[in-house]
Structure 1
Amino acid sequence: MPVEAEPVNKSKTYTQDEAFEAAVSYFNGDDLAARVWINKYALKDSKGNLYEQTPNDMHRRIAKEIARVEKRYPNALTEDEVFNLIKDFKYIVPQGSPMAGIGNPYQTASLSNCFVIGNSGASDSYGGIMKIDQEQVQLMKRRGGVGHDLSHIRPKGSPVKNSALTSTGIVPFMERYSNSTREVAQDGRRGALMLSVSINHPDSEDFIDAKLEQGKVTGANVSVRIDDAFMKAIKSDGEYTQKYPIFSSTPKYTKSIKARKLWKKIVHNAWKSAEPGILFWDTIINESVPDCYADLGYNTVSTNPCGEIPLCPYDSCRLLAINLFSYVEQPFTKKAKFNFELFKKHVGIAQRIMDDIIDLELEKIDVILGKIEADPEMDDVKAIEHNLWLNIKKKAEEGRRTGIGITAEGDMLAALGIQYGSEEGNAFSLQVHKTLCLEAYRASVYTAKERGAFAIFDSEREKENPFIQRIKEADEKLYYDMLEYGRRNIALLTIAPTGTTSLMTQTSSGIEPVFLPVYKRRRKVNPNDKNVRVDFVDEVGDSWEEYVVFHHRFKQWMEVNGIDTSKNFSQEELDDLVKRSPYYNATSNDVDWLSKVSMQGAIQKWVDHSISVTINLPSDVDEDLVGELYLKAWEVGCKGVTVYRDGSRSGVLISNEEKKEEKQQELLTAFPIKRPQTLEADVVRFQNNKEKWIAFIGLIEGKPYEIFTGLADDEDGILIPRWVDKGVIIKNRDEKGNSRYDFQYKNKRGYKTTIEGLSHKFNPEFWNYAKLISSTLRHGMPIDNIVELINSLQLDSESINTWKNGVGRALKRYVADGTKAKGHTCSNCNSENLIYQEGCLTCKDCGSSKCG
């Protein structure tokens, strides 16, 4: 029977204010960390009741569950032993899904952070493609990020045996999968998707260009799988042959291209928009230990959304980070040193805890399967979801894959007085990651001795693998112990991004350097209050106070060196402080780019999965540097690389400054003032204050032209089947000759069904506002400005305000990604540096996202 944990104290609940006050105290006044913890990780039920007041309660919940699993095995860790390692986010930090889900009886969700799905056999059929779509959605609703590869889809123009006669190619299915991702949310967390394709595929150029088109593929990250043959063709300026099926010895279709021409397209797009990312596929496959078992279903096909976990179909991974800063003794002093012995001990325990979490994940999957079986739907409706989780359970049970990583690399080096990106820094980081690798593998071997090896372990299959050979060369005893006892886990290590985790550890994120040691925030103030300083008055007359925020460990450096952290520093004094600190010339914008790539390649030798790292570039670098960095990454053995040029996201839709005026004029004349009788329309569903809403957005050339919205579940509301997402709006006349707007869609039998008189679904006040907003749309006002206009409307009626919010939320979907949001501040950090991303307001400073 599946086991469902009980909350630590199910009789006691806390208000948001009680928890926030206690959490702020726990985090020593850090309200951002407190809010992140409450919103994402504190135990709560579907009614919003909070069962945990501080992270200590959460850590006790997790420790209790880990200890319960430990009792099944020899030499069990106690609850207190686990608690003391994970409390205060000091040493071992379960990430994301494990933190939120372990011991959580209120949420039927997986503990896996990421999944990869895929098809075998007739995988390019429409049925196979739709099956992946449904599997993707089913995983995302359980809180998982998903990746899958599109190289199995036949290229555009290929013959097919249906009424279409020829294939549409990859791009339409990219849009489908992207749209599905945008529709799925779980507890405020939007779906995350990685789409990849092989450079060997004839449609790879279309794939590379797909995200540059406005409104297309906004719900997915995209990466290109590049093989060594393509890279060699670039260097020699040679030809490269694309095929379908890819890499087939008897392909149905071939196409010869100039490798450098396509390479320049990749580099240009990455320079312009930070995508596509690159996956060096031969390096991934050749180094992959799981691919030694490819014929048993462990052939790597894609990665998770951030690229740090290459996976086979239906495998998943759980993540855990070790806080490197906590192993620096006497930090920021001349006596600072890294405690390697304690680090080794904790890595071994962390690997053991990760294996326990797999047992807890298998229990969660049993609960999910039980829920599916108990659901009232027909068996054929439930079949795909049911089989999906059976497949995932098999891989988790058989391979027992883990994902141990790190956080606080930047702070660790600074605390030791070593400059990030220097030769000394790269060498020390390499030593730490090599130690982490050997100790994690040692723990997996000794856990196998006590608990048994993963089910298909076979030393003969692995003996020529470069990664295993590297372990043999570094530690022969470990290698021969592995031959004797096996290994508990098929693969163990990764370096993932640790966004919210690092907010709670109050350190730099993952392997990255510190973003900024000092920055400024603003908070809105009442200028009439006593002792309030007004530093800035915005365009609408609101007053703001600016205040300095120190990175937590920079502040610790100040305290160690006797610097008063409460002083009101001038900008010159702050600049001088940074120059005196170990963070000088060691931020994300300071680090030498080629040095960072070299560091990643060296560390990758000791990480059996991959590394999520971004090379940050200033806005004025040229495209050639991006190409140079990519080539260097391949040469030094990186498995993947992402380059982000400052401001490149916001430049996706406008190619250069000179075209802005021309683009604006084009926008203003894009629509006919006289409405066509029939318009294509998107159907957008959303919830607003727990009410179900529906919007019909009339489109011309994909751009919003008019909008109708209403309640979807009210007696007088608009009822439309869930599967309908498109149709047409027709302008008709009623029997009195008045204008009437009808919505028409096709039902499942192909017959047209009409919803009459959309305009009559509103009272006159609603309808008049709809006409006003539609008029601004028709005259070409940019969508973000219209959203701001709607938000600024001063309306007395509560129902009208609710309707106003609904219209704004529907239209935000059409705001171009990267558009700066004016007049907004981040609710987490008060930054004004907000942009629209996939219809949501996203803070570029702290990463917080709000879709309301």
Structure 2
Amino acid sequence: MKTEVVADVTDRLSYTYEEALEAASKYFDGDELAAGVWLNKYALKDSYGNIYERTPEDMHHRMAAEIARVEKKYPNPMSEAEVFEVLNRFKYIVPQGGPMTGIGNEFQVASLSNCFVIGNDGTSDSYGGVMKIDEEQVQLMKRRGGVGHDLSHIRPKGSPVKNSALTATGVVPFMERYSNSTREVAQDGRRGALMLSISIDHPDSEAFIDAKLDGTKVTGANVSVRITDAFMKAAVSGEKYTQAFPIGSKDPLITKEVDARSIWNKIIHNAWASAEPGILFWDTIIRESVPDSYKDLGFETVSTNPCGEIPLCPYDSCRLLAINLLSYVENPFSEGASFNFEKFKEHAKIAQRIADDIIDLELEKIDAIMAKIKADPESEDVKRTEFSLWEKIKEKCIQGRRTGIGITAEGDMLAALGLRYGSEESLDFTEEVHKTLAVEVYRGSMELAKDRGAFGIFDWELEKENPFLARLGETDPELLQNISKHGRRNIALLTIAPTGTTSLMTQTTSGIEPVFMVSYKRRKKINPNDKNTRTDFVDDLGDHWQEFFVFHHQFANWLKLNGYDLAEVEQMEEDALNEIIAKSPYAGSTARDVDWVNKVHLQGRVQKWVDHSISVTVNVPEDTTEEKVNEIYRTGWESGCKGITIYRDGSRSGVLVENKKKEEKEEGAYISEQKAPARPQILEADVVRFNNNEERWLAVIGLLNDRPYEIFTGRAEDSFHLPYWCKTGYVMKSKDADDNTRYDFQYKDKDDFRITIEGLSRSFNPEFWNYAKLISGVLRHGMPLLDVVHMVENLHLSDESLNTWKNGVVRALKKYIPNGTKAVESTCGECGEDAVIYQEGCLICKSCGNSKCG
């Protein structure tokens, strides 16, 4: 799905990709990964790929000019130079994602918001309501927004309904619907992001919890369960628990008594096995939520954004902005290191001011989106849902003016101060930093209210009993008095997001997380006859490679400040390097080293000073038991966390896969047979078109549970003809007159008539058929797609036409390999790093960006 071109600025200076990449690499001191991420995701470009910014400095000037324009609307405006100073080089204040891409961007009609939540009125689960949410979700994703919505209003499976179905199907089919819609939406190579949640009180919550366990369903969504305090107490004590529908009704239509501990153990097992579902401690979220003081005015929280850090009411949105904590450490990595709280306080208020300016810029973007919808040639019936959606979002934006001020570089800040992440001293200091941030951001919002007015529905009487505000008042009583008198500019203000690509550009640790790894190995191709080279690895082609260490940016700075020669350390043996790491402030502070108990306690202590929530993952080793996961989750609840997610090494394919020595089986050992799932009479199918050399080819991929189950492919000029617009259909298994199995293909034409092509299996060149049956057989028996592709690639076929056909099969199947899966031959031929992954069916190096499709 392409973005609309809304400007044709032909007189602007543009740059080639190579020119911009070279300039950006210099800006990032040779860090090509950071340069590539910035250039591909955030540099100003039009829909034709023309690039109009060479470095992030150009981007920061673009953003500063727009923010300063808004500032001029209000008293005591900041100048463009003042705004640029705090944005420049990602040093202090970093607007994240949508704001970086969209502010001052005249080429796109896109929102600046990172996060949205949508929903019905809480009672409607009609098909009309379901389809409305589906459309709203897609419309927001095409504008670059991540979306969350809750399924607790959908009737449980088996409930009576007044239509021809007679009974409801329950939540799981709708999870699939929303997930599939997410996977269909792509924006500049960026897939949609979705959070689905459900209350533990819902009678279908157990089916929801199991929906993603086999890894083949609901692959386009994160899922989280809203857990109540009452359920947690029942799970701990082993008592029964009553689920009811409608949720929260005093007179429910359906009740169901369940074993709370059994369901809790299922959540634990699934999280241990597959890293999902996540948990939202819902009573804590609602109890602490300032916006829920205004629930009778439409601000009742119902779900969260895809990463869980922003709980929202329906049709509210948020824009994220991070403060780089490392930049406030003076004399870092020395005995004289200290944190500049005065500058931090000043910048916290500036960050809030800029975040409020971005709301005004977002309102301008929403007006542009609505004008675009009005001008579109579709009928009013077609446009009605989308236009109404943005009307609701605009109203919530005006009423609440919600912001999302967060941080990044927590791990590096602690290391620069000589504090070990997770130690008691680090917990105390971290809490002090976040308490200071909360107080000063709320002070900044109060001061803005004096000059610009409070958010639209501010009412001190409604929110004065909120426990979060009470903690602020205990810390600074005068601040709370001023808020009661003058109001605030914003209904809620704070969060901690993952800051993934943001941390690549700040060259720091991400969000509240510790450093993931201090060092990792890379390879570079060498001539073995050159002097001062060492061959550490010879590949299958006979090329020689030398291994060297690459360091986390701030660890490299620590090495330099402590007199180490970086080039020498890069070439050290691993044992010698580990001795140096043990002397550094990063010792015992990586994601795998940090004690999970202290990490959860740190999250709980920071959460007291964050009015939204925190995105954080507890990383645990592969041998972690389910009992330990249970303890992590319980500790999170007891520590006041609003949500928690764990990732056990190896529990999810395609994510940070490690090479491990496989266990050798005894000679003659029999591997248990995996029975293929039975083939339904009718399979949904995708049609994939591609060029094979100079020929036009197509493939029909029969799908079972969204996974390739069988494949038919060949030249499009053969007897199998399809109109160019046909992308999907059905493969039907039947018998011919002689009782032989036959596969037919059926699709709908533009008038919704069904067209059947008989004998699909014989429509292509018959010599391909035996190989097609072989490949379909291994697909049906569940061989991982990466292994199937590797197997087909290595078929030795003498006939040229068979090899062409083989290449067609490979190209078709690669499109179904999950994004992020590590390639079999994962060493990049350009940069030598072990970083080649699949992305949209192509092989891409995460390090240098080298790409190959085929």
Give TM-score scaled by structure 2 length.
0.90
Partner of 2:583: 580
Q: Which runs of 5+ in 2 are unaligned?
A: 656-661
Task: Write the distance in 2 (CA, Å) between the matches of 1:490 and 1:529.
Answer: 64
Query: What is the CA deviation profile of residues 583-624 of structure 1, one whole-angstrom value per residue up to 9, with x for unaligned ones?
Result: 001111111111111111111010000000111111111111
With over 3 angstroms needed to count, the CA separation of the structure-2 counterparts of 1:809 and 1:392, relative to structure 1, is farther
Pairing of 1:456-605 with structure 2 (within 5 A): 456-524=457-525, 533-539=534-540, 541=542, 543-567=544-568, 568-605=571-608
Asked whether the equivalents of residues 519 and 552 of structure 2 are also in contact (C-alpha less than 8 Å), the reply is yes
With over 3 angstroms needed to count, the CA separation of the structure-2 counterparts of 1:502 and 1:699, relative to structure 1, is closer
One of 832, 835, 852 as aligned partner of 2:834: 832
Task: Write the distance in 2 (CA, Å) between the matches of 1:433 and 1:799.
Answer: 65
Asked whether the equivalents of residues 825 and 834 of structure 1 are also in contact (C-alpha less than 8 Å), the reply is yes
With over 3 angstroms needed to count, the CA separation of the structure-2 counterparts of 1:713 and 1:20, relative to structure 1, is farther
Partner of 1:629: 632
Query: What is the CA deviation profile of residues 627-680 of structure 1, one whole-angstrom value per residue up to 9, with x for unaligned ones?
Result: 11111111111000001111111399xxx999999997534x6289xxx89541
Partner of 1:328: 329
Q: Any idea what SS the aligned residue of 2:566 has?
A: coil
One of 678, 698, 703 as aligned partner of 2:702: 698
Q: What's the offset of the Cα at 1:134? A: 1.1
Q: Any idea what SS the aligned residue of 2:673 has?
A: helix
Query: What is the CA deviation profile of residues 474-504 of structure 1, one whole-angstrom value per residue up to 9, with x for unaligned ones?
Result: 1111111111111111100000001111011
Asked whether the equivalents of residues 688 and 700 of structure 2 are also in contact (C-alpha less than 8 Å), the reply is no
Partner of 1:280: 281
Q: Any idea what SS the aligned residue of 1:744 has?
A: strand
Q: What's the offset of the Cα at 1:337? A: 0.5
With over 3 angstroms needed to count, the CA separation of the structure-2 counterparts of 1:51 and 1:210, relative to structure 1, is same
Partner of 1:251: 252
Q: Any idea what SS the aligned residue of 1:212 has?
A: coil
Task: Write the distance in 2 (CA, Å) between the matches of 1:601 and 1:435.
Answer: 16
Q: What's the offset of the Cα at 1:839? A: 7.3
Task: Write the distance in 2 (CA, Å) between the matches of 1:166 and 1:148.
Answer: 23
Letter in 1 for 2:646: V
Asked whether the equivalents of residues 6 and 109 of structure 2 are also in contact (C-alpha less than 8 Å), the reply is no
Pairing of 1:628-667 with structure 2 (within 5 A): 628-650=631-653, 666-667=673-674
With over 3 angstroms needed to count, the CA separation of the structure-2 counterparts of 1:631 and 1:465, relative to structure 1, is same
Q: What's the offset of the Cα at 1:135? A: 1.0
Q: What's the offset of the Cα at 1:426? A: 0.5
Task: Write the distance in 2 (CA, Å) between the matches of 1:152 and 1:192.
Answer: 21
Partner of 1:84: 85
Asked whether the equivalents of residues 94 and 320 of structure 1 are also in contact (C-alpha less than 8 Å), the reply is yes
Pairing of 1:48-87 with structure 2 (within 5 A): 48-87=49-88
Partner of 2:754: 752
Asked whether the equivalents of residues 409 and 512 of structure 2 are also in contact (C-alpha less than 8 Å), the reply is yes
Task: Write the distance in 2 (CA, Å) between the matches of 1:688 and 1:531.
Answer: 46
**Identity of paired residues, percent?**
63
Asked whether the equivalents of residues 238 and 259 of structure 1 are also in contact (C-alpha less than 8 Å), the reply is yes
Partner of 2:658: none
Q: Any idea what SS the aligned residue of 1:449 has?
A: helix
Partner of 2:774: 775
Task: Write the distance in 2 (CA, Å) between the matches of 1:713 and 1:287.
Answer: 64
Letter in 2 for 1:718: L
Q: What's the offset of the Cα at 1:49? A: 1.0
Q: Any idea what SS the aligned residue of 1:240 has?
A: strand
Task: Write the distance in 2 (CA, Å) between the matches of 1:481 and 1:290.
Answer: 19
Task: Write the distance in 2 (CA, Å) between the matches of 1:335 and 1:769.
Answer: 73
Task: Write the distance in 2 (CA, Å) between the matches of 1:181 and 1:334.
Answer: 50
Q: What's the offset of the Cα at 1:816? A: 7.3
Q: Any idea what SS the aligned residue of 1:743 has?
A: strand
With over 3 angstroms needed to count, the CA separation of the structure-2 counterparts of 1:756 and 1:611, relative to structure 1, is same
Q: Any idea what SS the aligned residue of 1:321 has?
A: strand
Task: Write the distance in 1 (CA, Å) between the matches of 2:122 and 2:265.
Answer: 34
Partner of 1:670: 676
Letter in 1 for 2:294: Y
Q: What's the offset of the Cα at 1:777? A: 2.2
Asked whether the equivalents of residues 521 and 548 of structure 2 are also in contact (C-alpha less than 8 Å), the reply is yes
Task: Write the distance in 2 (CA, Å) between the matches of 1:797 and 1:371.
Answer: 55
Q: Any idea what SS the aligned residue of 1:666 has?
A: coil
Query: What is the CA deviation profile of residues 387-413 of structure 1, one whole-angstrom value per residue up to 9, with x for unaligned ones?
Result: 111111111121111001000000001
Asked whether the equivalents of residues 352 and 441 of structure 2 are also in contact (C-alpha less than 8 Å), the reply is yes
With over 3 angstroms needed to count, the CA separation of the structure-2 counterparts of 1:783 and 1:770, relative to structure 1, is farther
Task: Write the distance in 2 (CA, Å) between the matches of 1:51 and 1:260.
Answer: 58
Letter in 2 for 1:707: I
Letter in 2 for 1:33: A
Q: Any idea what SS the aligned residue of 2:700 has?
A: strand
Task: Write the distance in 1 (CA, Å) between the matches of 2:12 and 2:798.
Answer: 41
Query: What is the CA deviation profile of residues 73-122 of structure 1, one whole-angstrom value per residue up to 9, with x for unaligned ones?
Result: 11111111111111111000111111111111122211111111111165
Instruction: Please say if 1:606 is aligned against 2:609.
Output: yes
Task: Write the distance in 1 (CA, Å) between the matches of 2:313 and 2:426.
Answer: 34
Partner of 1:787: 789
Task: Write the distance in 1 (CA, Å) between the matches of 2:845 and 2:287.
Answer: 39
Instruction: Please say if 1:20 is aligned against 2:21.
Output: yes
Asked whether the equivalents of residues 141 and 192 of structure 2 are also in contact (C-alpha less than 8 Å), the reply is yes
Letter in 1 for 2:673: E
Task: Write the distance in 1 (CA, Å) between the matches of 2:665 and 2:456.
Answer: 60
Q: What's the offset of the Cα at 1:837? A: 9.0
Asked whether the equivalents of residues 812 and 839 of structure 1 are also in contact (C-alpha less than 8 Å), the reply is yes
Task: Write the distance in 1 (CA, Å) between the matches of 2:451 and 2:614.
Answer: 30
Task: Write the distance in 2 (CA, Å) between the matches of 1:106 and 1:715.
Answer: 44
Q: What's the offset of the Cα at 1:367? A: 1.4
Q: Which moved more, 1:778-787 or 1:239-248?
A: 778-787
With over 3 angstroms needed to count, the CA separation of the structure-2 counterparts of 1:670 and 1:221, relative to structure 1, is same
With over 3 angstroms needed to count, the CA separation of the structure-2 counterparts of 1:627 and 1:190, relative to structure 1, is same
Letter in 2 for 1:697: I
Number of residue-to-residue matches in the alignment: 837
Task: Write the distance in 2 (CA, Å) between the matches of 1:850 and 1:479.
Answer: 58
With over 3 angstroms needed to count, the CA separation of the structure-2 counterparts of 1:651 and 1:54, relative to structure 1, is closer
Task: Write the distance in 2 (CA, Å) between the matches of 1:774 and 1:848.
Answer: 35
Q: Any idea what SS the aligned residue of 1:243 has?
A: strand
Q: What's the offset of the Cα at 1:465? A: 0.6
With over 3 angstroms needed to count, the CA separation of the structure-2 counterparts of 1:421 and 1:399, relative to structure 1, is same
Letter in 1 for 2:426: G
Partner of 1:822: 824
Query: What is the CA deviation profile of residues 725-782 of structure 1, one whole-angstrom value per residue up to 9, with x for unaligned ones?
Result: 55234578899x99985411467987533256757987x5xx8668635532224454
Letter in 2 for 1:381: V
Query: What is the CA deviation profile of residues 329-364 of structure 1, one whole-angstrom value per residue up to 9, with x for unaligned ones?
Result: 010111110000000111111100001111111111
Query: What is the CA deviation profile of residues 127-158 of structure 1, one whole-angstrom value per residue up to 9, with x for unaligned ones?
Result: 11111111111111111111111111111111
Q: Which runs of 5+ in 1 are unaligned?
A: none
Q: Any idea what SS the aligned residue of 1:566 has?
A: helix
Q: Which moved more, 1:829-838 or 1:796-805?
A: 796-805
Asked whether the equivalents of residues 718 and 763 of structure 2 are also in contact (C-alpha less than 8 Å), the reply is no
Q: Which moved more, 1:452-461 or 1:820-829?
A: 820-829
Task: Write the distance in 1 (CA, Å) between the matches of 2:845 and 2:681.
Answer: 39
Q: Any idea what SS the aligned residue of 1:73 has?
A: coil
Q: What's the offset of the Cα at 1:35? A: 0.7
Q: What's the offset of the Cα at 1:472? A: 1.2
With over 3 angstroms needed to count, the CA separation of the structure-2 counterparts of 1:662 and 1:428, relative to structure 1, is farther
Asked whether the equivalents of residues 407 and 509 of structure 1 are also in contact (C-alpha less than 8 Å), the reply is yes
Letter in 2 for 1:602: R
Partner of 2:659: none
